[in-house]
Amino acid sequence: MTYKCGRCGKTFEMEDLKLIPSIMCPFCGYRVVYKIRPPIAKKVKAV
Ligand SMILES: [Zn+2]
């Protein structure tokens, strides 16, 4: 799962938030992070 810091805006990989109740940004220590939906690799057949 990828998260984005609410302050410095950096993104980082982290396990699910449920497992880490005290998640914080590893760069600035800010405790408000946003979950980023990973790009879904759809198999689209190019016509
Ligand atoms: Zn940060």
* pTM, entire model: 0.64
pLDDT of residue 24: 87
Would you say residue 4 has pLDDT above 90?
yes
Asked if residue 8 is part of any domain, the answer here is yes
Displacement of CA 24 from its chain's centroid (Å): 11
Q: Cα of 38 to ligand 1 centre, how many Å?
A: 19
Q: Cα of 10 to ligand 1 centre, how many Å?
A: 6
Asked if residue 15 is part of any domain, the answer here is yes
- Residue 33: left (phi > 0), alpha (psi -120 to 50), or beta? beta
Asked if residue 46 is part of any domain, the answer here is no
Would you say residue 18 has pLDDT above 60?
yes
Domain CATH code at residue 1 = 2.20.28
pLDDT of residue 14: 79
pLDDT band at 19 (very low <50, low <70, confident <90, very high): low
> What is the four-CA torsion angle of 38, 39, 42, 46, rounded to 10 degrees?
-170
- The total domain count for the chain is 1
Asked if residue 17 is part of any domain, the answer here is yes
Query: In this predicted model, which residue has the larger pLDDT, 23 or 26?
Result: 26
| Residue 14 belongs to domain spanning | 1-39
pLDDT band at 7 (very low <50, low <70, confident <90, very high): very high
Asked if residue 32 is part of any domain, the answer here is yes
Residue pair 14/22 in contact (Cβ under 8 Å)? The answer is: no
> What is the four-CA torsion angle of 24, 30, 13, 42, rounded to 10 degrees?
120
